[in-house]
Structure 1
């Protein structure tokens, strides 16, 4: 309820006040936090591609999750598009409480984020968090996470430290997202057992025969880590740059969009902007919603400028 009220209040204040104001020159560069996760790369790529024909530049700061929120507080970055609730709730709560970080909008529903296993491991009996320790030897006492500092890794470390589910003798293997997936694919080829961080949206759900574990509600949230993703901004950003505030409030994603764009990045070798251009070319109807009420930096109507800039008739 608290999140909904904050989002509604911020969104209303942006849209109700000075609805078609253009931004000043000090707003020309939007500074985006980048967690270096493929879904965030896709999100930031989409934002950059849309902002360029509007007359804005984007600057990416690659940061770990804890540093992202600290950087928003310190006004070193403006926006972060990949705040997953409830998994980031403990990280971001102090900043929401002191007002240094605000929630602009919920940008995606239907996501999930929890521990997963290959389907043959599920069929072998490991279906619940409480089953993990039973198979410690087959798992080599390891759980595969992503990069150090991520909120998912911290949850796993907290479980190990607190001996939740009897995991005190387990090790968290930290690596990049891609390195983790490469290792899991190697294990799948050999039918070796593994527990790893899984999430949707992500093309892993199509590439791997995998199942999400039950029983982790107290750690990753209900519905197998069901998540809401929201856009975080530094305090004052939407007031200082109302047009950018309106843009980032209107920029919404879907699981299907991110699954597809992430596939372009991971499987086709595209960068975020190239993936965004391809996806927009196939779904130009999305531009109207993303750009409703948004202008160029100098105050012209935004939608025609973006359509022209992207070569969309």
Structure 2
């Protein structure tokens, strides 16, 4: 009887120690993203699913495009859902392709280019060379963060379309949008670096300028990238990220909610709560 008592005590102690050990091993994951409205929306939705459905503690790493790709390649970040391919981030893919795992597109039908309000009588990037048009635009193209793929494409556009009198203004996604809203509300001329999906196309009548030289490429996709080795040590997260895919309308609904005043976290929670079937398809096989 004494032996059984001692054995039972040993089992209980082992169980307690194992429980404490498991409790100390918190599931964590690092998500890199750029502060574009589209990527703020998608990354927060991914964060919400990882935390509420898979039990992870998520650390958000806001960086520029270059460091985002570098972080996945060197393993300092686990994943990102913000790779615009094949054109916008082509230079980063060429540099890091052998050091990352590309899980394929999570969203189809994206586009980048120079955008203007629909009320402007400008149809093509070539029209920007007209002296009257350049003067009305104050010889400025309002851009976003330096190093973004769309900024590199616009630098090339300045050269290839001989827009030598124009300055590409570096700012941020948020600052660019505010400049656009201000000009739009006052029916003033403005040209910005634009992309879809983006809430500004849902809120304002905008149009892309024709790009006969194909500087900005055609329709693109947004891909999910993860560090090498993630499949081995965080298999459930890898499975979810591999299955994560949604539509432009989904992304736009989250972006609009944020633009109208919700925090990114609350907008993501609301979307996840309202779309259980889609979320369930993402996490199938993770448990």
Cross-structure match for 1:4: none
| Contact residue 155 and residue 219 of structure 1 kept, 8 A | yes
SS at structure 1 position matched to 2:103: strand
Cross-structure match for 1:92: 93
Cross-structure match for 1:19: none
Provide the C-alpha distance between the structure 1 equivalents of 2:94 and 2:230, rounded to a whole number of angstroms.
Answer: 19
Cross-structure match for 1:120: 119
Provide the C-alpha distance between the structure 2 equivalents of 1:289 and 1:84, rounded to a whole number of angstroms.
Answer: 23
- TM-score by structure 1 length? 0.79
| Contact residue 34 and residue 41 of structure 1 kept, 8 A | yes
Does 2:168 correspond to 1:167? no
TM-fit CA distance, 1:142: 0.7
SS at structure 2 position matched to 1:256: helix
Give structure 2 stretches of 5+ with no counterpart: 1-23
TM-fit CA distance, 1:26: 7.3
Aligned length in residues: 260
Provide the C-alpha distance between the structure 2 equivalents of 1:292 and 1:262, rounded to a whole number of angstroms.
Answer: 26
Deviations 1:179-228 (A, max 9, x none): 11111121122322111112211111121111111125632112xxx111
Give structure 1 stretches of 5+ with no counterpart: 1-24, 296-313
Provide the C-alpha distance between the structure 2 equivalents of 1:250 and 1:217, rounded to a whole number of angstroms.
Answer: 36
Provide the C-alpha distance between the structure 1 equivalents of 2:25 and 2:102, rounded to a whole number of angstroms.
Answer: 22
SS at structure 1 position matched to 2:214: helix
TM-fit CA distance, 1:171: 0.5
| Contact residue 119 and residue 211 of structure 1 kept, 8 A | yes
Does 2:195 correspond to 1:205? no
| Contact residue 114 and residue 216 of structure 1 kept, 8 A | no
Provide the C-alpha distance between the structure 1 equivalents of 2:198 and 2:78, rounded to a whole number of angstroms.
Answer: 25
Provide the C-alpha distance between the structure 2 equivalents of 1:203 and 1:101, rounded to a whole number of angstroms.
Answer: 30
**Which of these two proteins has the greater Rg computed from alpha carbons?**
2
Cross-structure match for 2:73: 73
Cross-structure match for 2:239: 246
- TM-score by structure 2 length? 0.86
- Partner of residue 237 from structure 1, selected from 216, 230, 233: 230
Moved over 4 A (4+): none
SS at structure 1 position matched to 2:179: helix
Aligned-CA RMSD value: 1.7
